[in-house]
Amino acid sequence: MSLTNWDDYRYFLAVAESGSLSAAARVLGVAQPTVGRRIAQLEERIQARLFDRLNQGYQLTATGRRAVEAAERMQSDAFNIERLVEGADTALAGRVSIATAEGLGTFWLSPLIPALRRAYPALEVEVLVGVSAHDLLRREADIALRVGNPRSDALVGRRIGQIHCGLFASVDYLAARGEPKTPGDLAGHDIIESVREIAELRQARRLRSLSRDTEVAFRCNSILVQLAAVRAGAGILALPLYMARGDSELVRLLTDSFNVSIDLWLLSHRDLRRTARVRAVLDFIIARAGEDPDMKMGRR
């Protein structure tokens, strides 16, 4: 007996327990001919007679009595599967995977994990860096915290804020080279350039457009390595404000002329949006983004 044929065995058990097609039809909520047809189809498929058709009703054959034991085990397994699935969807427990970028994961999301765990101690949080929206569609992550909205019918999400970016240099760099007061002053400074997978970030493109005639001091495809370089005095870098928050080594530059804002989206697979543990994490992240002054909508 295959689980793919469980529905037929459900009809079979109803007739076996009630003793007639009419009684089984009332239990199943279907028409009596439907029950008779499903029993006949099942007997034809397994090439065995399960019932003797008697005037007083349907009576199990010897084969039918053996089949009842197997079908009851199938029924028990089906109920267990339903309970497991329902429990997983309603329980605030289990693993929730969040896909995000390197900078967001390091400087914004990871500091929230202790508070999330205090709110939901039975959750296991997994942060995946570098997992794309395509991988989210394949269920390799439950949630994606992303810059921009990769539009897809299978994903649901909302804009939860904006990432505001500015220009930064270290205190030591500015002491040695002076502070630029206008975009034109960047020509006398060293720039930290973004390449490869981070080359097209909006803040990187904006800095590139303002510094075409400047000296590129350092090129890198990791925003964390870039941050270490700017803190060490290697040059001027465009950074999300949350990455420089509270860093006494860094000074924000050209606040009036360099303001870049990028929409921040929180996405999940459409099939998971009502799962309790996923919904809890989504709501938690939305609330924290709304409280973050560096993620408010509008210019910073």
Same-domain status, 74 and 99: no
Domain identity same for 121 and 42: no
Residues 106 and 246 in one domain: yes
Q: Are residues 104 and 221 in the same domain?
A: yes
Q: Which domain holds residue 177?
A: 93-300
| Position 134 pLDDT exceeds 50 | no
Residue 19 shares a structural domain with residue 126: no
Long-range contacts of 43-48 (CB under 8 A, 24+ apart): 45/5, 45/8
Q: Are residues 142 and 184 in the same domain?
A: yes
**Strand pairing class (260-269; 143-147):** antiparallel
Task: Determine what percent of the chain is predicted with pLDDT higher than 90.
Answer: 51
Last-in-domain residue among 74, 90, 106: 90
CATH of the domain at 300: 3.40.190.290
**Both 21 and 72 in a single domain?**
yes
Residues 36 and 156 in one domain: no
Confidence of residue 139 (pLDDT cuts 50, 70, 90): low
CATH code, domain with 26: 1.10.10.10
* Range with the poorest average pLDDT among 44-53, 224-233, 270-279, 285-294: 270-279
Tell me the average pLDDT across 37-44. Answer: 90
**90, 118, 152 - which closes a domain:** 90
Confidence class for position 288, pLDDT limits 50, 70, 90? very high
Q: How far, in Å, CA of 180 to CA of 234, rounded?
A: 15
Pair 30, 104 in one domain? no
Question: Rounded distance, CA 181 to CA 194, Å?
Answer: 23
Q: What are 233's two structure tokens?
A: 């005095």
List the single range of 114-123, 206-215, 269-278, 288-297 with lowest mean pLDDT: 269-278
HEC string for 5-33: HHHHHHHHHHHHHHCCHHHHHHHHCCCHH
Q: What was the pLDDT predicted at 271?
A: 72
Confidence of residue 27 (pLDDT cuts 50, 70, 90): confident
**How many domains, in total, are found in the chain?**
2
Residue 255 pLDDT: 92
Name the token pair of 74.
Answer: 């199938």
Report d(CA 72, CA 68) in Å as an integer: 6
In contact, 51 and 39? CB cutoff 8 Å:
yes
Residue 4 pLDDT > 60, yes or no? no
Last residue of a domain, one of 90, 108, 128: 90
pLDDT attached to residue 154: 64
Mean pLDDT, residues 72-79:
76
Q: Are residues 246 and 271 in the same domain?
A: yes
Identify whether the C-beta of residue 93 lies closer than 8 Å to the C-beta of residue 122.
yes
How buried is residue 35: exposed, middle or buried, by Cβ count under 10 Å (0-12/13-18/19+)?
Answer: buried
247/164 same-domain check: yes
Residues 195, 263, single domain; the answer is yes
Distance CA 222, CA 170 (A): 18
